[in-house]
Structure 1
Amino acid sequence: MRIASILLAGAALLAAAPASAEQGDWLVRLRALMVAPTEESGPVEPGFPGAHVAVDTSFAPELDFTYMATDHIGAELILGTTKHHVSGRGDLGGLGRLAGTWVLPPTLTLQYHLAPEAKVRPYVGAGVNYTIFYSEKASGALENALGETKVRLDDSFGYALQAGVDFDITPKVFANVDVKYIDIDTKAKLVSGSSVNHVDVSLDPIVVGVGLGMRF
């Protein structure tokens, strides 16, 4: 009976212990992401100087890995891909959707964890991002207007800023909320026969993630 009481007390203490982040730990999170571009676009030149473009918000799952180099310092790599649609504005506004593209933005940040032993553990981070655009495709509306069109977007290298917080659920499992600002600049090329148009776009998305994590 006494042994059972000791075991129950030990289990209660273990359940109450925070899932603290310590040197050498791996933190793995699965998040649901909202990627909301705060884009600015230049003109579509030379053919449509009175036109610009807009990029829509996208939702997707994301997996990330954090290695704790010390109790306070971690390095996080995020992996996920989203699909976005590009719409016309100004002189191209009547066409609606112009193109679609998939975006792969692997991002590495160096984090500072403010309270690694607490049950609620905020952190801030900064790092670098390399964004790859792939499977770009012109819309039917654009091709009806210009003819067969190939769309290409240049890959981007920029910085990333981050803030987030982990909340204990069990000694190993925690909930997470994370917000990032990612600097993404690209040049889109539209090739329609012998006609070539370019547009510079600063996507600069706000990336909001909510999910669950596990400490190993």
Structure 2
Amino acid sequence: MNNSIVRRLGLAASLAAFALTTTPALAVDQGDWLVRLRGIGVMPTSDSGGISPDLTGGSLEAQRAYVPELDITYMATENLGLELILATSPHDIDGQGAVAGLGKAADTWLLPPTLLLQWHFLPKGKVRPYVGAGINYTITYGENATASLENAFGGPTTVDLGNSLGWAVQAGVDIDVAENWFVNVDVKYIDINVDAEFRTGGTTRTADVGIDPVVFGIGVGYRF
């Protein structure tokens, strides 16, 4: 590594350290409200079991999505917060295994309001890490079958995805940048599994679709 690069890295580190030490701490208190707006990536990690009764060698896999997310935290104490997460995301559902040739088989929207109990480790610090755990209820809407799925199933097909109740965990950090303003980095894992039903004429096919996304987010927040 040449001296020019070393000097630039050293200058960047010095400026970051100076900004952190000169930014006033928010000193989060009991009764405060923290509102964050993030850009998130929703990364599904699971696929379905077989499609019953006749395509058990095939499965379905929800694809990733990138959307905005709003969350609101109420500080019940200096350390304990209650956070409600609000976002909705569109997902393509692709065929896998014996139905991989379908490509995109369907699409849907997920609305997964999530309530988390958080522990904030350093409420008086400029850098405030936290962890959380809670529950999630996911509502599916806007389901549609693609032409490739309807051709494979033999005619017009109605897609019905059930809702899901599961758990969620979270870790993140708030970093002060100005009075009452902070930046936020956050990661969550949400347990989401939905029952899928495909009706084509008098034939009904079912599948258990596991979504189980890891959700990465970065954004800004404001304390009231």
TM-score (norm 2): 0.88
Which residue of structure 2 lines up, in the alignment, with residue 117 of structure 1? 124
Which aligned pairs between 1:89-108 and structure 2 lie closer than 5 A? 89-108=96-115
Query: Structure 2: where are the runs of 5+ without partners?
Result: 1-21
Q: Indicate whether 1:202 and 2:210 are aligned.
A: yes
- Could you tell me how far apart the structure 2 residues matched to 1:16 and 1:105 are? 35
Tell me the SS of whatever aligns to 1:78: strand
- Could you tell me how far apart the structure 2 residues matched to 1:116 and 1:215 are? 12
Amino acid at match of 1:161: V
Q: Please tell me the root mean square deviation across aligned C-alpha atoms, in Å.
A: 0.9
Count of residues in correspondence between the two structures: 202
Query: Structure 1: where are the runs of 5+ without partners?
Result: 1-14
Which residue of structure 2 lines up, in the alignment, with residue 54 of structure 1? 61
Which aligned pairs between 1:18-167 and structure 2 lie closer than 5 A? 18-146=25-153, 147-167=155-175
- Could you tell me how far apart the structure 2 residues matched to 1:75 and 1:103 are? 22
* Kept after mapping to 1: 8 A contact 2:23/2:177: no
Amino acid at match of 1:107: T
Q: 1:121 Cα deviation (Å)?
A: 0.2
Q: 1:185 Cα deviation (Å)?
A: 1.1
Q: 1:54 Cα deviation (Å)?
A: 1.1
Which residue of structure 1 lines up, in the alignment, with residue 3 of structure 2? none
Which residue of structure 2 lines up, in the alignment, with residue 8 of structure 1? none
1:27-52 Cα shifts (integer Å, max 9, x gaps): 00000010001113100000211111
Amino acid at match of 2:90: K
* Kept after mapping to 1: 8 A contact 2:23/2:176: no
Amino acid at match of 1:198: T
With 122-131 and 84-93 compared, the bigger mean Cα shift is at 84-93
* Kept after mapping to 1: 8 A contact 2:121/2:130: yes
- Could you tell me how far apart the structure 2 residues matched to 1:212 and 1:95 are? 40
Which residue of structure 1 lines up, in the alignment, with residue 192 of structure 2? 184
Which stretches of structure 1, 4 residues or more, deviate above 2 A after TM superposition? none
1:142-192 Cα shifts (integer Å, max 9, x gaps): 122221000011100000000000000112100000100001111100101
Amino acid at match of 2:191: D
- Could you tell me how far apart the structure 2 residues matched to 1:114 and 1:79 are? 24
Identity fraction in percent: 51
